[in-house]
Amino acid sequence: MSDMTRGADRYLGRYRLGEVIGVGSFATAYLATDDRLEADVVIKVLAENHSLNPEVRERFIAEGRSLRRVRSPNVVTVHDIGESDRQQPYLVLEHADRGTLAARVASLRGAGWQVTAADLLHLVRSLVDALDAVHAAQLVHRDLSPSNVLLTTDGHPAARSRADTTGRALVEDDERVLLADLGLCKDLALNSGLTVAGGTAGFRPPEMESGPAVIDTRADLWALSAVVRWLCTDSDVATLVAPVLERSLATNPADRHPDVRSWLAEIEDAVAPVGAPAAPERVAPVMSSSSAALDGEPVPVPAPSAGVGRRTLGLGAAGVALAGLAVGWALRGDGESPSSRDESFISIDGPTSTRPGESATFTLERTGVSAWVWVLPTGEFVANQQSVTLTPSGPGEALISVQATDDTGQALHVEHQLNVVES
């Protein structure tokens, strides 16, 4: 499997392979050392037999690309993607040196530990930040479980020791929570919306249990609630959060919370009576939407038609650094810019900067498009409205995007960034 052997050491490219730290159905994970940077990493190598299967191979590589699209300190970083001399693709991942949440909880429970409100909030705030970033990248994780939640040294000295009068904390002050393994994630912008059963038993939402089903971000919300239910077993906190969990463990996704942020707000309210710490400030602006502009029914993000396949590609950014200028990328299914307006085309016309309290209106410019959905920073999805209006109440950055299907069934996607600055 390795490209070469130097003495007693095995290498994959420049990475010196160490012990095997995980074996799955499709891949093996090694602890490794990057000799050039003198850093520990994890090498995830696709099994040789599966490397010959184009679909599995592409899915494995897509995991790395998906992770690169997500920007969060609470999602595992991909450093590199490579291929061995035996044509086995591999991912070079951030190393989480403190193990998994599953192992941590097992160790603590062996010593009689029960989760506290502070423990719970520390963990779920990190997981919500991670899932928020995953969902903002138009992805669904689809396999959130205690074994896919990792702990790593944060690089900052701990504010408290690993043991105190109340026992060890679930996540220490010198640790960071990482969400890993997007291998089962579903790209809402590229795929058809149909999927098959996957995930981990006990943390798999009902809609993934049998046969093809339409999966959206509320599947991750169900799994997150299942993780919290598992964590709070036989603890006093379980009673406090039970009503919140009951809602997002509903069989019908429509009965769950609309997004992870609203779920977190209810969790924080539920445990507040027991003295849990307040939530940290968020840098993203708080947005409100105009009801006049949003008279369409909120709907899930639409998925392109199943016939699009892997040729579908589209990502445009408008006005990132051009204050007052609205710019759009024209996209079609093969990722090329059209040569004329006869091609399918979408762009967002609107301001790139505003101030708190000032309304900003965004209008969709389109050609050859019959159906679309606005994805707003408020968490709303609004279908087939020509324009939307947002009013920020605080400074930060917000992303407005549109997903569309043209008259031939091709998927289009465009994004527009709004910077909200103080006067």
The end-to-end CA distance of the chain, in Å, is: 59
**329, pLDDT greater than 70:** no
Cα separation, 59 vs 81, whole angstroms:
13
Closest by CA position to 241, among listed 273, 218, 203: 273
Arithmetic mean of pLDDT, 189-207: 65
**248, pLDDT greater than 50:** yes
Residue 280 lies in a domain: no
Together in a domain, 76 and 118:
no
Domain encompassing residue 37: 4-94
Q: Categorize the per-residue pLDDT at 272 as very low, low, confident or very high, splitting at 50, 70 and 90.
A: confident
Q: Categorize the per-residue pLDDT at 344 as very low, low, confident or very high, splitting at 50, 70 and 90.
A: confident
Cα separation, 22 vs 11, whole angstroms:
18
Q: Give the pTM.
A: 0.61
Q: Which comes out higher in pLDDT, residue 306 or 285?
A: 285
Together in a domain, 51 and 130:
no
Structure tokens at 112: 């009689």
**Residue 44, annotated ligand binder?**
yes
What is the 8-class DSSP label of residue 100?
A: B
How many domains, in total, are found in the chain? 3
Residue 131 lies in a domain: yes
Buried b / exposed e along 240-250 (16+ C-beta atoms within 10 A): bbeebbeebbb
pLDDT of residue 6: 59
Contact 40, 50 (CB under 8 A): no
Q: Which comes out higher in pLDDT, residue 237 or 406?
A: 237
Together in a domain, 117 and 190:
yes
Arithmetic mean of pLDDT, 389-404: 83
Burial class (CB in 10 A: 0-12, 13-18, 19+), 264: buried
Together in a domain, 326 and 233:
no
Together in a domain, 312 and 339:
yes
**415, pLDDT greater than 80:** yes
CATH of the domain at 85: 3.30.200.20
Question: Which segment of 59-63, 157-161, 361-365, 381-385 scores lowest on mean pLDDT?
Answer: 157-161
